[in-house]
Amino acid sequence: MDSSPYLYQINASRGGVPKLPVSEVWVAKGGLCEDGQRNRVIHGGPDRAVCVFSFERIQALQQEGHTIHPGATGENFTLSSLDWAHIQPGNHMKIGEEVRIELTSFCEPCRRIAQWFDKRKYDRIDQQQHPGWSRLYARVLAEGQVRQGDRIWVENCLKETLS
In a domain, 163, yes or no: no
In a domain, 161, yes or no: no
In a domain, 1, yes or no: no
Is the predicted pLDDT of residue 41 greater than 80, yes or no?
A: no
Structural domain count of the chain:
1
Percentage of residues in the chain having pLDDT higher than 70? 89
In a domain, 77, yes or no: yes
In a domain, 30, yes or no: yes
Integer Cα distance of 110 and 113 in angstroms: 6
**Do strands 50-54 and 77-80 pair parallel, antiparallel, or not at all (unpaired)?**
parallel
When pLDDT is cut at 50, 70 and 90, the band that residue 119 belongs to is very high
In a domain, 75, yes or no: yes
pLDDT at 28: 93
Q: Facing residues of 145 across strands?
A: 26
In a domain, 145, yes or no: yes
Is the predicted pLDDT of residue 42 greater than 70, yes or no?
A: no
Range of the domain at 19: 6-156
| Mean pLDDT confidence for 12-32 | 91
CATH number of the domain that 56 lies in? 2.40.33.20
Indicate whether this model's pTM tops 0.85: yes
95-116: pLDDT as tens digits: 999 999 999 999 999 899 999 9
In a domain, 100, yes or no: yes
Integer Cα distance of 107 and 95 in angstroms: 20
What end-to-end distance do the CA atoms of the chain give, in Å? 42
